[in-house]
Amino acid sequence: NPDAWSVLHRQARSHGEPFVSEVGSMRDEIVAFVTGLIGAAAREAHSDPALADRDVAGLAQALVGAAESLAGWANDTPDVSAREAAATLMNFAWAGLENLMHARPWTPPAA
């Protein structure tokens, strides 16, 4: 719902407490859930055991942040449906996470 998104992520943060704490708590819950999903997928795929909990937590933060940014963009862009925005996020995340689950992480080129 675009109006709810606007209240939660734009207006609530600028109105101070208790809204800031509530939005932060909700985000923490979402990140924890996504962390669990990524961790479970990594275990199920028997991915590289070097994929540490810290890496999984970082991936969850990145994915949730990308979703928040995409939702803001979709609300500001005429004629972008929720379905289209969700497909965009899945296309963005799927390729990278799939590579990680198959132990093919990106590494920077040698200097």
> What does the pLDDT profile of the chain (111 residues) look like in tens digits?
666 666 666 666 677 777 778 888 888 999 999 999 988 888 777 665 666 788 889 999 999 999 999 988 998 899 999 899 999 999 888 877 888 777 777 788 887
d(CA 52, CA 67): 23
Residue 41: burial class (beta carbons within 10 Å; 0-12, 13-18, 19+): middle
pTM attached to this predicted model = 0.78
